[in-house]
Chain A
Amino acid sequence: RSVYIFAKKNNIPFDYKKISLFEGYQYSEEFGKINLLRKAPAIKDGDFCLAESVAIMMYLAEKFHTADHWYPADLQKRARVNEYLSWQHSAIRIHGSKMFWFKLLIPKALGTEVPKEKMDNAVEDLNASLNLFEEKFLQDRPFIVGDQISLADLVAIVEIMQPVGAGMDVFENRPKLKAW
């Protein structure tokens, strides 16, 4: 979603190759030629194939000379974006994804409820990440790196929306997060 939004927002023309993860297309021989990591998103620019959304967006930002605020040239501002993009992998991303699986996919696909203790721990982990997000990455700034939106905000929002899709309103009782 972050790659899609970034391309759309910056009018980067692309051929949308829709794939179905639930049908297992990522394990096909065809897709293996695009991305051996067997995950989405992936891009193909001529002969150049690239995986990993963070790498893809950095590549697009550079190649298409997108507006500076997305990935600032200023050393310290860029460092703040990089800091968030690094931190999020093992924090919001992982805990948000887990909630999506626990609240939606596992009950629906396997027909089993996740044990209460596991669920509670998962919710606790996500809340801890969201707290850190508000306390360290947002603080009282409008966006993560200051006055303007950057790759950091884009990646953050798509990840935070994941548990929302599973029915967990993470914005409830978080006015700062909601405003952001």
Chain B
Amino acid sequence: MPLELYLDLHSQPCRSVFLFAKLNNIPFEYKTVDLSAGEQYGEEFGKVSMIRKVPVLKDGDFILTESIAILQYLVGKHRTPDHWYPADLQKRARVDEFLSWQHTNIRAHGSKVFWFRGVLPAVTGSPVPKEKMDAAVEELNTSLKIFEDKFLQTRGPFVVGDKISLADLVAIVEIMQPVGTGLDVFQGRPALSAWRDRVKKEIGVEVFDEAHKIIMNVDALPQTFENKGIPEFLKLKIQKMFN
């Protein structure tokens, strides 16, 4: 039975899993979950994961959520090249350090900016209040500065030295999220841009672009909602965001 990956490439963690599987020639069955239609709240998907998030991995009877855990599992199972998740204690710790930090920093702030710029206006029909938007962008900027100052540093071309690892993969998909809404976070950040170019080259421009096609076309969302309607979960989520 082939590996199943439940994905929606609007989602950053789906992109890192998708890219990792592709780059390492890990065969999988792509199971689309349409987040904009609320498919994650459907009965079908509920049988796969009660957490109702993507990505999800299904390996026979073994179901696993959380992209970080999925990536670590795929590394272990498919014995991918060492640089992705080095066996060396200190190098691995550096990858783990970033993978831990990113949840409530780049991930949280990049997601928020994405919602504020790309999703909320599409649902409510009006832009997010300036003060809220500015605060969200400021938090993202703070995270990006920390990323450059601490994680990129002068240690090497990638987060953990000479070669790309899970840290770079997770970082790039998260940083691309606000970019999809037209906020070019690379502008004015030469170190970040240079790193992005190196990562893109390692991944391969074609497969990188393939993974990011949906997010780079996120201005199609308003039309999607007009055609399919706005799912209830989205209205509730947005209400909560404004508290």
Q: Chain B residues near A93 (CB, 8 Å)?
A: 104
Mask: chain A, 38-64; 1 = CB below 8 Å from B; 0 = not:
000000000010111111101100110
A105 in contact (CB, < 8 A): no
Is the pair B89, A62 in contact by a Cβ cutoff of 8 Å?
yes
Give the interface size class of chain B.
Answer: 20 to 34
- The distance in angstroms between the C-alpha atoms of A90 and B13, with both chains bound, is 14
Is the pair A136, B50 in contact by a Cβ cutoff of 8 Å?
yes
A78 in contact (CB, < 8 A): yes
Q: Chain A residues near B107 (CB, 8 Å)?
A: 90
A117 in contact (CB, < 8 A): yes
B205 in contact (CB, < 8 A): no
- The distance in angstroms between the C-alpha atoms of A82 and B75, with both chains bound, is 13
Q: Which of B60-68, B130-138, B190-198, B223-231 contacts A (4 or more CB under 8 A)?
A: B60-68
Residue of B nearest to A82 (CB): B69
Partner of B51 from the list A63, A87, A121 (CB cut-off 8 Å) is A87
Is the pair B240, A90 in contact by a Cβ cutoff of 8 Å?
no
- The distance in angstroms between the C-alpha atoms of A63 and B146, with both chains bound, is 28
Q: Chain A residues near B68 (CB, 8 Å)?
A: 82, 86
B203 in contact (CB, < 8 A): no
Is the pair A48, B240 in contact by a Cβ cutoff of 8 Å?
no
Is the pair A86, B103 in contact by a Cβ cutoff of 8 Å?
yes
Q: From residue 73 to 117 of chain B, which have CB atoms closer than 8 A to chain A?
A: 73, 76-77, 89-90, 92-94, 96-97, 99-101, 103-104, 107-108
Partner of B72 from the list A37, A82, A117 (CB cut-off 8 Å) is A82
- The distance in angstroms between the C-alpha atoms of A135 and B149, with both chains bound, is 40
- The distance in angstroms between the C-alpha atoms of A85 and B243, with both chains bound, is 27
Q: Chain B residues near A54 (CB, 8 Å)?
A: 96, 100
- The distance in angstroms between the C-alpha atoms of A135 and B52, with both chains bound, is 13
Interface residues of B (CB under 8 A from A): 50-51, 62, 64-70, 72-73, 76-77, 89-90, 92-94, 96-97, 99-101, 103-104, 107-108, 146, 149-150, 240, 243
What are 10 A-B contacts defined by CB distance under 8 Å?
A48-B90, A50-B94, A51-B101, A55-B99, A63-B89, A79-B70, A80-B64, A90-B103, A94-B104, A121-B240
